[in-house]
A = this chain, B = another copy of it.
Amino acid sequence: MERKIRVVQMGLGPIGNKSTIYLAERPQAFEIVGAVDLDPAKVGQDVGVLAGLAPLGVTVTADLHSVLSHGNIDVVLLTTASSLVKVESQLTAILPYGVNIVSSCEELSYPWLTQPEIAKRVDALAKQHNVSVLSTGVNPGFLMDFLPMALTGVCRHVNKITVERIQDATFRRIPFQKKIGAGLTLAEFDQKIAEGTLRHVGLTESIHLIAAKRGWKLNATEDNISPIVARHDVKTEYLDIKAGMALGVQQIGRGLVGDNEVIRMVFRAAIGEPETKDRIIIDGSPAIDSCIKGGVNGDVATCAILINSIPVTINARPGLRTMADIEPIACFA
């Protein structure tokens, strides 16, 4: 890299703050030149301090336009929301400044079939301003879409792809255990589902990414969420879970060609799962049975791939890119 990549951070929640740390530890590659968040509690703070670092000399502002008007920005790292409807106005505010975008917005990871009108608008605007947009992360973005898709590259034919992301939450911290619904009654669990706070966003996008690349025209997708129910009392360091309460969550995604299930995604996080793993099974020629033992730590991995994808996104063909049509992303630090 001849000169540092100039980054504006937008959205300083947990992912944004962790990204600050990861950017700051690669000073030969990146320079944080702006930080944007609407939260009045964050505005005026130093973006480094907000992330738990020493001050970086960049103050959080709510005024995106003043930051971008400054000019000479290579990329905005956009970590604001999971919903593409919410994020679209942010994308359309940024792109006219001729600035590339790397985003963690799950619904933007492969929106061509789920929200095609927005996808087309974002793509057209990015092309008009000769910049690229990529949304990625560990999931969606990598484990349940890019990686199985890439593994089919060595296949003569593929009948079915099964992806399992299984996490044993027994020894995880309490915020994670609560996030997956462990210790809830089934009524409480259902309420969280109804509120939308328990759902992993992006399973349908992952299914569509694989299917499109594979050439499968899906006539239906499913995304079903349910509790993993304790069959007997379970005690962890933090929780006392009675039989009949939730140990965690399971989400099953399916992609169908006719009546055939050609893609099956199992995303399960619960207390007492026998094995944490990321497994991909390709029923094809050759058959492939790939397993990452112990799984991939999601918090680290999502921020890492966001940072790692920045140079590739800047150099990509203009438009809305996805993990299905961007050059390989690797760790470079």
Give chain A's interface residues, CB within 8 Å of chain B.
Answer: 22, 138, 142-143, 146-147, 149-158, 213-215, 284-294, 296-297, 300-305, 307-309, 323-333
Known contacts A215-B332, A327-B325; decide if A289 and B300 are in contact (CB<8 Å): no
The reply to whether B286 and A146 contact each other, CB–CB distance below 8 Å, is no
Residues of B within 8 A of A153 (CB): 142, 304-305, 308-309, 328-331
Most chain B CB within 10 A, of A22, A143, A287, A303, is at A287
Copies in the complex: 2
The reply to whether B285 and A300 contact each other, CB–CB distance below 8 Å, is yes
A263 CB to closest chain B CB, in angstroms?
Answer: 13
Most chain B CB within 10 A, of A294, A302, A309, is at A294
The reply to whether B296 and A293 contact each other, CB–CB distance below 8 Å, is no
Contact of A214 among B286, B323, B324, B330 (CB under 8 A): B330
The reply to whether A156 and B304 contact each other, CB–CB distance below 8 Å, is yes
A281 nearest in chain B by CB position: B293
A327 nearest in chain B by CB position: B325
A18 CB to closest chain B CB, in angstroms?
Answer: 9
The reply to whether B288 and A291 contact each other, CB–CB distance below 8 Å, is no
